């Protein structure tokens, strides 16, 4: 079977995805959730003209020059409007957030005034509109300020509250079940016997999925037996998983049982080899209830494939508008040889130079088992299939890794 190009594999993974069901959640639970509908303001902000500073509200026509003296007729604090209008020769003491009284069209800040008894002397002339927040300067009732498909930031939540929304409609979080496979795996903190290795992939996968807003479920470690693997896969349906992620057992050896186990549990596998490095033995399939991505067991391959394929799939299930990673241009910090027929994703150090350009230097050792170089990398340098040799200083494309 010919290796599938990365772009084709990614298109298949995110094809025909509808966002999950909609639920209303209170604002305090909506951070990083994805809006399922446009949100319009339920009020005008500010609803009336308000003072932006502490000072005196007055008529600008009465205060066109320094030295003007006015009678102070009252005080305006936030939430306590003045009960009467400002007339000729009058002013009102006003504090930030106070409603500008009828008749007033300017505020002179207190630093530019002198108070003498019940009168105020202006050291600066007034200007109409100065230090006043006009009604609706922020937004008006009925104005759509938050759009469907937006992942809500903390600033968005503040805006929604100001728009007078106590709860928001959001897509349900994707449920992601994660299964490690392999007789050789032992848990962190234990002493591995000869030939055993410590489980590491699952921790990165859970973190990646949660960072994208998914709920994750740990299905543990399946032994290299078909019945054990199918039993663990069956548990994904029990937790209502929208996406099953397996790691290990994705190649074609006698002990690589993930593909037959998935097929035995009703998954129709679309592909199981892709033209990329690291990550050639990656699988994807679907059942009537869920999708599955079978990741390689080597930790670098597992992480990079999850970053490239799992993350956009979770974003699509969550209803986000922009699901794909953004590529950037950088300058190569070292030369690279010609590439073969696979698309390479090279771990690289990436620094911003004095002129603002990015310098990406692939690390020397690119073996897919090396967790140290993965943790130290800031980016992936992308090398297309059959790319010619690239000298240091030439242009390349990179993907920034999450921090």
CATH number at residue 38: 3.90.105.10
Q: Are residues 112 and 188 in the same domain?
A: no
User: Is the distance from CB of 290 to CB of 243 less than 8 angstroms?
Assistant: yes
pLDDT-derived band of residue 249, with 50, 70 and 90 as boundaries?
confident
pLDDT at 325 (0 to 100): 96
How many structural domains compose the chain? 4
Higher pLDDT, 339 or 256: 339
Structure confidence by residue, pLDDT tens digits, 341-379: 999 999 999 999 999 999 999 999 999 999 999 999 999
Q: Are residues 211 and 313 in the same domain?
A: yes
**Residue 259 within any structural domain of the chain:** yes
Which residue, of 148, 171, 194, is where some domain finishes?
171
What's the mean pLDDT in 294-299? Answer: 94
Q: Are residues 89 and 217 in the same domain?
A: no
194 phi and psi angles, rounded to 5 deg: -55, 130
Which residue, of 133, 162, 189, is where some domain finishes?
133
pLDDT at 262 (0 to 100): 94
CATH at 347 = 2.40.340.10
pLDDT at 299 (0 to 100): 94
Vertex 124, ends 120 and 128: CA angle to 5°? 95
Q: Residue 255: pLDDT above 60?
A: no
Question: What letters, b where the CB count within 10 A reaches 16 and e where it falls short, cover 9-45?
Answer: bbeebbeebebbeeeeeebeebebbbbbeebebeebb
Q: Are residues 281 and 207 in the same domain?
A: yes
Q: Are residues 81 and 38 in the same domain?
A: no
pLDDT-derived band of residue 252, with 50, 70 and 90 as boundaries?
low
**Residue 30 within any structural domain of the chain:** yes
Owning domain of residue 346:
328-400
**Residue 1 within any structural domain of the chain:** no
pLDDT-derived band of residue 85, with 50, 70 and 90 as boundaries?
very high
**Residue 322 within any structural domain of the chain:** no
pLDDT at 49 (0 to 100): 97
Q: Are residues 221 and 198 in the same domain?
A: yes
Q: Are residues 33 and 94 in the same domain?
A: no
**Residue 178 within any structural domain of the chain:** yes
SS (HEC) of the chain: CCCECHHHHHHHHCCCCCCCCEEEEEHHHCCCCEECCCEECCCCECCCCEECCCEEEECHHHCCCCCCEEEEEEEEECCECCCCCCCCCEEEEECCCCECCCCCCEEEEHHHEEEECCEEEECCCCCCCCCEECCCCCECCCCEEECCCCECCHHHHHHHHHCCCCEEEEECCCEEEEEEECCCEECCCCCCCCCCEECCHHHHHHHHHHHCCCEEEEEEEECCCHHHHHHHHHHHHHCCCCEEEEECCCCCCCCCCHHHHHHHCCCEEEECCECEECCCCCEEEECCCCEEEEECCCHHHHHHHHHHHHHHHHHHHCCCCCCCCCCEEEEECCCECCCCCCEEEEEEEEEECCCCCEEEEECCCCCCCCHHHHHHCCEEEEECCCCCCECCCCEEEEEECCC
Q: Is the peptide bond before 46 cis (omega within 30 degrees of 0)?
A: yes
What's the mean pLDDT in 193-220? Answer: 94
Vertex 124, ends 121 and 129: CA angle to 5°? 110
């Amino acid at each position: 079977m010919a290796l599938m190009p990365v772009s084709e594999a990614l298109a298949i993974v995110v094809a025909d995805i509808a966002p999950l069901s909609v639920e209303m959640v209170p604002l305090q639970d909506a951070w990083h959730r994805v809006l399922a509908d446009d949100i319009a303001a339920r009020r005008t902000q500010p609803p009336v003209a308000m003072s932006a500073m502490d000072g005196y509200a007055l008529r600008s026509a009465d205060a066109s020059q320094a030295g003007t003296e006015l009678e102070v007729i009252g005080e305006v604090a936030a939430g306590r409007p003045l009960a009467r209008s400002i007339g000729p020769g009058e002013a009102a003491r006003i504090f930030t957030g106070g409603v500008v009284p009828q008749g007033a069209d300017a505020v002179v800040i207190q630093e530019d005034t002198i108070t003498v008894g019940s009168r105020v002397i202006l050291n600066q002339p007034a200007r109409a509109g100065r230090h006043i927040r006009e009604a609706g300067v922020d937004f008006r009732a009925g104005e759509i300020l938050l759009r469907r498909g937006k992942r809500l930031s903390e600033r968005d939540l503040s805006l929604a509250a100001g728009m007078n929304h106590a709860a928001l409609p959001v897509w349900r979080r994707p449920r992601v079940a994660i299964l490690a496979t392999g007789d050789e795996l032992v848990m962190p903190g234990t002493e591995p016997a000869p030939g055993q290795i410590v489980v590491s992939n699952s921790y990165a996968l859970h973190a990646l999925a949660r960072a994208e807003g998914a709920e994750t479920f740990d299905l543990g470690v399946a032994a290299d037996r078909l019945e054990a693997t199918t039993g663990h896969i069956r548990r994904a349906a029990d937790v209502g998983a929208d996406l099953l992620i397996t790691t290990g057992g994705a190649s074609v050896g006698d002990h690589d049982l993930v593909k037959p186990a998935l097929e035995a549990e009703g998954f129709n596998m679309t592909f199981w080899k892709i033209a990329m490095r690291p990550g050639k033995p990656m699988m994807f399939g679907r059942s009537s209830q869920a999708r599955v991505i079978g990741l390689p067991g080597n930790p670098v391959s597992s992480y990079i494939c999850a970053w490239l394929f799992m993350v956009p799939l979770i974003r699509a299930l969550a209803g986000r508008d922009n699901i794909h990673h953004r590529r950037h241009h950088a300058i190569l910090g070292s030369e690279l040889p010609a590439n073969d027929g696979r698309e390479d994703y090279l771990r690289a150090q990436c620094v911003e130079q004095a002129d603002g350009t990015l310098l990406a230097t692939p690390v020397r050792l690119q073996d897919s088992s090396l967790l140290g170089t993965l943790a130290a990398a800031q980016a992936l340098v992308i090398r297309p299939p059959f790319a010619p040799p690239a000298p240091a200083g030439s242009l390349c494309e990179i993907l920034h890794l999450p921090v």
